[in-house]
Amino acid sequence: MVRVEIYHNISDSGFFGLNTVFENGGKSEALEDEKRHPLVLVFKYELTGPPGDDAILAEAFEVFNIGDDPSLNGHLTDEQRDRATAYRRNRLRSLSTGDVVVIQGQPYSCESAGWRARSPDELRILQAEEAEPVIRERYDIPSREALSISVPWSGAARS
């Protein structure tokens, strides 16, 4: 089995790329842990058979960028459609630049074009209880409302 984990970048500058910061009038990559973008685990699954990381990344990008009705995408397998439906049922936004897919412990950041292999040391992963206030502030979600957009993984699909 191949273990795949999806992490959302919950930084307000995450869409510029993982750990991209703007300092001194320019763009650079954060090297210090406190400046790295916070990530939160939002989804995970297992695949039977190793099709290779490139194929898994391409499939993840397609499946997690499908709109709210995955049944409209007739080219998906039943397994892919079920995965896309579960992802959307959890009220998650599309997989985007700055997000991370981890395959069997190897992280890859979604870039503006393609993927970049990363070291686990480059990731700043928040646990669910740490991530929730960051998500609420980032997306201006009141405490009385259920989280959406980036919802920490609980191990079960939400309905």
Rounded CA separation 65/78 (Å): 16
- Within-domain flag for 152: no
Confidence (pLDDT) at 56: 95
Overall domain count for the chain? 1
- DSSP secondary structure letter of residue 5: E
Confidence at residue 156, expressed as pLDDT on a 0 to 100 scale:
45
Cβ-contact 46, 2 below 8 angstroms? yes
Residues in the chain, how many? 159
Domain that holds residue 124: 2-139
User: What's residue 71's pLDDT?
Assistant: 64
pLDDT of residue 9: 94
Domain annotation covers residue 57: yes
pLDDT score at 146: 83
Residue 21 is given by DSSP the state E
**pLDDT computed for residue 103 by the predictor:** 97
In a domain, 116, yes or no: yes
The answer to the question of residue 157 being in a domain is no
Q: 75 in a domain, yes or no?
A: yes
> Is 159 inside a domain boundary?
no
In order along its 159 residues, the chain shows pLDDT tens digits of 999 999 999 998 888 899 998 888 888 888 888 889 999 999 999 998 768 999 999 999 999 988 666 566 667 888 888 898 888 888 888 999 999 999 999 999 999 999 999 999 999 999 988 888 888 888 888 888 888 777 877 654 443
**Three-class SS of residue 62?**
helix
Residue 97 lies in a domain: yes
Is position 148 within any domain? no
SS (H, E, C) 101-125: EEECCEEEEECCCCEEECCHHHCEE
